[in-house]
Amino acid sequence: MAKLNQIIAVEKGVKSKSQQDLTAVQHGLTKAALLAGISRTYQPKDEEGEQLSPESTRVQVKAEDVLRDTAKTLSRLFDVTATKDWANCAARADVTVDGRTLLADVPVAYLLFLEKQLAELGAFLRKLPVLDAAESWSLDPSTDWWKTEPVRTVRTKKVPRNHVKAEATEKHPAQVEVYYEDIPVGYWTTVKFSGALPARRVNELLERIEKVQQAVKFAREEANGMEVTDQRVGEALFGYLFA
């Protein structure tokens, strides 16, 4: 008795071969000449007349034969697909992580859905914003935001100063150069806030989803390992359709 994963493995090949075979057997129906035949003989009016050889062309394609070959080709495809779909209705397994059953008796179709959704969710988690590692962060209970320790910085103001390069004389005025000096005038106290996540938290989330993804794959393999009962639907179906 075959297993479900074996049926899944051969289904694609059966579909491909069925398409090729159908194209081949139905090709003749598109050419009227292959469906037509003829037979003719010649008889002169009298014994002295010209004798001509008979002519004939055989029918090369019979529509009934094409129907029979089509039914044979599609029956195999219908049977394999039916065997898979019937088995999918019964194929189930538990999703277990670290010895804990998260989901019990899950149908294989839903396991396939979970695999796709978890892959998309994992891609989303990998894009989560992470707190700047250059800062020291703590959770502020009053806002539920992450914040840094207060940092005090000096605010300065540029004040012009005069530098006398040469004193004034009776003949020349003083030579004075103006420059600016930064003078402290106050202090800024800065606290940064962020709604991002600590790298530790993101890594924990990624580790969990990877565990669940692995568990779902194991469950799918287990479900697909069940033995299947071959379904024979093609013969009954085409036995009625082309009777």
Domain ranges of the chain: 1-91+231-243, 94-135+198-224, 150-190
- Which of these, 93, 135, 131, lies nearest to 219 by C-alpha position? 93
The pLDDT tens digits for 67-117 are: 888 898 899 999 999 998 998 888 999 999 999 999 999 999 899 999 999
In whole angstroms, give the CA distance from residue 169 to residue 172. Answer: 5
Q: Is the pTM of this model over 0.85?
A: no
- Which of these, 148, 130, 128, lies nearest to 139 by C-alpha position? 148
pLDDT exceeds cutoff 80 at 234 = yes
Residue type, 235: E
pLDDT exceeds cutoff 80 at 166 = no
Banded pLDDT at 128 (limits 50, 70, 90): very high
Would you state the torsion angle of the CA atoms of residues 234, 238, 239, 243, taken in this order, to the nearest 10 degrees? -170
- pLDDT (mean) for 162-178: 78
In whole angstroms, give the CA distance from residue 131 to residue 198. Answer: 5
Reported as type and span, the H/E element at residue 117 is helix 108-125
pLDDT of residue 99: 94
Task: Say how many C-beta atoms besides its own lie within 10 A of residue 142's C-beta.
Answer: 6
Q: What is the SS3 assignment for 96?
A: strand
pLDDT of residue 55: 86
pLDDT exceeds cutoff 80 at 153 = yes
- pLDDT (mean) for 183-196: 94
The pLDDT tens digits for 212-221 are: 999 999 999 9
pLDDT exceeds cutoff 80 at 164 = no
Residues 6+ apart with CB under 8 A from 142: none
Using the structure block, give the residue that is written with the tokens 């799918």.
220
pLDDT of residue 1: 65
37, 61 Cβ separation under 8 angstroms: no
pLDDT of residue 201: 96
* Region of poorest pLDDT, from 32-36, 123-127, 146-150: 32-36
pLDDT of residue 154: 94
- Which of these, 134, 180, 126, 143, lies nearest to 158 by C-alpha position? 180
Buried/exposed 49-83: b ≥16 CB within 10 Å, e otherwise:
eeeeeeeeeeeebeeeebbeebbebbbebbbbbbb
In whole angstroms, give the CA distance from residue 171 to residue 173. Answer: 7
- Average pLDDT of the chain to the nearest whole number: 89
The pLDDT tens digits for 33-67 are: 777 888 988 888 888 888 888 888 887 878 888 88
